[in-house]
Structure formats: structure tokens, C-alpha cells
Amino acid sequence: MKETAKVFDQLIRERRSVRIYDPEAEFDHDAVQRSLERAVLAPNSSNMQLWEFYRIRSEEAKKSVAWMCMNQKAAKTAHELVVIVARRDLWKKRQKALVQEMKRVYPDTQSKQAKRAMNYYQNLIPKYYWSDWFDIWGLIKKGIYFFVGLKRPMVRHGNRTDIKISVHKSAALAAQNFMMSMKAEGYDTCPMEGMDSLRIKRYLKLPSKAEVVMVIGCGPAAEEGIYSDRFRVPNKEVIFEV
Ligand SMILES: Cc1cc2nc3c(=O)[nH]c(=O)nc-3n(C[C@H](O)[C@H](O)[C@H](O)COP(=O)(O)O)c2cc1C
């Protein structure tokens, strides 16, 4: 095994969801910033980066958000909380940025790659992310995918729920990058979906289409911070070779 794999393996095995943090131990808040800057390097669908990360640092803000996390100890004792937000609604802004980036990457606008990239971001992306009030377009897309899919492999996700899932998937990958980076920085974390996402959304003054993916408590673990030994079902029940 390569040295990098050994280090990574150790980090993976040492990361646990920590529910109680040590109030006395030192905490370098810059580690959160560095880890968020690593979080945004996560793979994400079409590189649309439809995510946002809110750092909850002040005592007052932490108290409010911990309350919205049902006063879980993992939130109440955290030195900092990070709210991961899915921003499906920002697709037009991101699309613009990506079109600009494609122009930079492919200055020869007539090249095959430039045309393909432009077609992807200017034509396909709006068809994927745009949706009407009743999501009729989503239903139409599902219908088209079904009929095309009878003859050849076809993507199947097209309605609003599918798109939401896609945006949450990418945000969750960023969350995992963040938690692993915090572990590498010597700190612990606990992802939480046991929270009042509506209240948190209001507290952060987010628009209605934004969605809170999870809140992550961060800090140095207290001795009693891990509740039990790690349990996983046997690998053979979940890992298959075809
Ligand atoms: C999406 C998600 C939501 C979670 N929500 C909570 C939560 O609200 N409260 C909590 O204490 N742990 C929460 N957890 C932590 C899991 O309980 C924990 O990851 C699992 O028990 C495995 O333990 P480990 O992380 O120590 O390996 C959550 C984990 C994930 C991935």
C-alpha cells in the first residue's frame, strides 16, 4: 500500500461522528476556512457548484443554530457549526460563469471541443435546471427519457425532485471533503440532519428555493465524545463484484 493510502486509511478510520466537544481545548478556526476551501474542490454535477457554506461562529449565532438542531450536544458543544446549503436556484449564475470559463479554456470557438462545451452549458444545462411552477417540464422530460430509453441507455433524472437529489449529492460530497479535511487538521465533526431546516433557512435569510443539506458540528472531541464503537454491517453485504 502506498504511503498516501496509509495516511488516508488512518484518517478514514479515525473519523467518527463526535457528539461532545471539549470546551477547554484549543480550536483553530482557520482550520474550518481551510477545510471549506478543500470542500469546494469536491466533484460536483456538471461543475455547477450549486452549494454554499455558512460558518456559525459567534456564541449568539451558535446558540440559536444549536437550538434549531434540536439542542443536540453535537451542536450545543461545537466550537463552530457549518451549514451546508444546496442552491439549485443559482443555476443561471453558475451557468454564466461556466460559459465564460469555456470561452477561456477553448479560445478557438469553432473547435469541436468548444462547440461541444458551449452546447452543453448553453443548451443542455438550462433544459436540465429550468422548471415551471407545476414541474410539467419535468414530467415531459421524464416521458422523453422513457421513450428514448426504450432503445438506448438514457439518463433518467429530469423532474424537480431528481434535480434536488442531484444538487444534494454534490453538496454531500463537499461535506465529506470538509469532514475529512477537519480530521486531517486534527479536529472532529458531526454531520446532522436532525435539525429544523426551515428555521435555519429563515435564520440565514436564504431564499425559499435554497435547501439546508446538513449542519456540521466541529471541534476537538471531548473524551466521552464518541458514544459507541464503530459498527458497520459486514462488507460482503454491501460490496459486490459483478
Ligand atoms: C446525512 C447524515 C445525517 C446525520 N444526522 C445526524 C444527527 O442529526 N445527529 C447525530 O448525532 N448524528 C447524525 N449523523 C451521524 C451518523 O449517525 C453517523 O455518521 C453514523 O452513526 C456512523 O457513525 P460514524 O460517523 O462515527 O462512523 C448523520 C450522518 C449523516 C451522514
- Ligand 1 centre to CA of 39 (Å) is 18
Distance CA(113)–CA(63), nearest Å, equals 51
User: pLDDT tens digits for 67-124?
Assistant: 999 999 999 999 999 999 999 999 999 999 999 999 999 999 999 999 999 999 999 9
- Ligand 1 centre to CA of 150 (Å) is 39
Residue with CA nearest ligand 1 atom 6: 192
User: pLDDT tens digits for 119-137?
Assistant: 999 999 999 999 999 999 9
- Ligand 1 centre to CA of 139 (Å) is 34
- Ligand 1 centre to CA of 194 (Å) is 9
User: pLDDT tens digits for 55-75?
Assistant: 999 999 999 999 999 999 999
Residue with CA nearest ligand 1 atom 19: 17
- Which residues does ligand 1 sit against, CB inside 6 Å? 16-17, 19, 72, 74, 190-194, 214, 230
Domains of the chain as residue ranges with CATH: 13-89+175-227 (3.40.109.10), 91-161 (no CATH)
pLDDT at residue 175, rounded to an integer: 98
Which percentage of the chain shows pLDDT scores above 70?
100
Ligand 1 probe mutation, 192, 229, 233, 238, most atoms within 8 A of CB:
192
Q: What is the pTM of this model?
A: 0.96
pLDDT band at 194 (very low <50, low <70, confident <90, very high): very high
- Ligand 1 centre to CA of 152 (Å) is 39
Residue with CA nearest ligand 1 atom 5: 192
Strand, helix or coil for residue 156 = coil
Strand, helix or coil for residue 96 = helix
Sorted by sequence, the CB contacts under 8 Å of residue 150 that are 6+ apart come out as none
pLDDT band at 198 (very low <50, low <70, confident <90, very high): very high
Distance CA(108)–CA(197), nearest Å, equals 46
- Could you give the C-alpha distances from 200 to 30, 69, 136, 149, in angstroms and in order? 24, 9, 30, 40
Which percentage of the chain shows pLDDT scores above 90?
99
